[in-house]
Amino acid sequence: MATWVIGDIQGCLEAFDALLEMLDPDPGTDRIWLAGDLVNRGPDSLGVLRRAMGMGAECVLGNHDLHLLAVAQGARPCAASDTFGPVLAAPDRERLLDWLRRRPLLHHDEGIGWTMVHGGLPPDWDLATARRRAAEVEEVLAGERAAAFLAHLYGNEASVEEAAECGWGHLRYTLNALTRIRYVTGDGRLDLSFAGAPERRPDGLVPWFSAPARRSRGERVVFGHWATLDLDPETAERENVRHVDTGCVWGGRLTALDLQSGAVRSVDCRSSTTNS
């Protein structure tokens, strides 16, 4: 059995279909996991949503998926770089959006011992804490308070103190942690201001997976979200993580990683972003 994790598709349906054809998964034994950011910037977010929903893939929410939900709810205007128009105008829009808002923020498979998130985990969270915090947000997104929460979705507040508070700030911190984290400071605070490669990071920042006191280091975590990250095998092995965002929408590659064998498959992508 293979468990293929595919990185950020971001509306690149042509590359997604080409990668699926290359993988040729056996529906009886093989599984497809999608590491979030199904939509935005690429040319066919609508097609990707329909394909992902139809194939029954295991999918976690990314920050662009949440942005689509906020825009559809009227809680946020479309940015010039957003490519949500066909989704918002589709006859099956409500069915697709309802499916999307019911996706988890974290997926853990006890059988193979892997956890999938879009962004990462804060240093002070163990896996049990991460699963509990994710479930809190998932319950709100799937329920009657979803619209109110989406209206409070935005904000870069990322202090440790906010994590202990209740209310929208508490839930927003969870989303920032699970879908937007790349770097943390020396005292474990999320830093959401820099998205570049580790070799160019400002002093005082470390990748979340390299934080010295990271409580989840004993868990195996696969993630996307970070197109500028070139994770070398030695670091991946030492930190117990794997990374699958190889910048498809920016003209890079769309990549799938088999968590069981370690095999990697990828297809070239043409740059189709509206914000290149």
Q: What is the pLDDT, as a whole number, of residue 153?
A: 83
Q: What is the pLDDT, as a whole number, of residue 105?
A: 98
* Averaged pLDDT score across all residues of the chain: 92
Confidence class of residue 122 from pLDDT cuts 50, 70 and 90? very high
Predicted structure pTM score = 0.94
Q: In whole angstroms, what is the distance from residue 246 CA to residue 101 CA?
A: 25
Per-residue pLDDT tens over the stretch 21-78: 999 999 889 999 999 999 999 999 999 999 999 999 999 999 999 999 999 999 888 9
- Tell me what percent of the residues of the chain surpass a pLDDT of 70: 93
Residue 210 and residue 106 in contact, taking contact as beta carbons nearer than 8 Å: no
Q: What is the mean pLDDT of residues 190-205?
A: 94
* 178, pLDDT greater than 70: yes
Q: What is the mean pLDDT of residues 243-261?
A: 96
Q: What is the mean pLDDT of residues 3-25?
A: 97
* 162, pLDDT greater than 60: no
Q: What is the pLDDT, as a whole number, of residue 272?
A: 46
Place of tokens 């590491």: 35
- Tell me what percent of the residues of the chain surpass a pLDDT of 90: 83
Q: What is the mean pLDDT of residues 130-143?
A: 96
Q: What is the mean pLDDT of residues 120-124?
A: 96
Q: What is the pLDDT, as a whole number, of residue 165?
A: 56
Q: What is the largest CA-CA distance in the chain?
A: 49
Q: What is the pLDDT, as a whole number, of residue 161?
A: 47
Q: Which residues contact 5 (CB under 8 A, 6 or more apart)?
A: 33, 34, 35, 116, 222, 242, 244, 256, 257, 258, 259
Per-residue pLDDT tens over the stretch 79-103: 999 999 999 999 999 999 999 999 9
Q: Which residues contact 35 (CB under 8 A, 6 or more apart)?
A: 5, 6, 7, 8, 60, 62, 116, 117, 118, 222, 223, 224, 225, 244, 245
* 160, pLDDT greater than 80: no
DSSP conformation class of 225: -
Q: What is the pLDDT, as a whole number, of residue 166?
A: 62
Element (H, E) at 104: none
Q: What is the pLDDT, as a whole number, of residue 187?
A: 87
Q: What is the pLDDT, as a whole number, of residue 164?
A: 53
The domains found in the chain, sorted by start residue, are 3-268 (3.60.21.10)
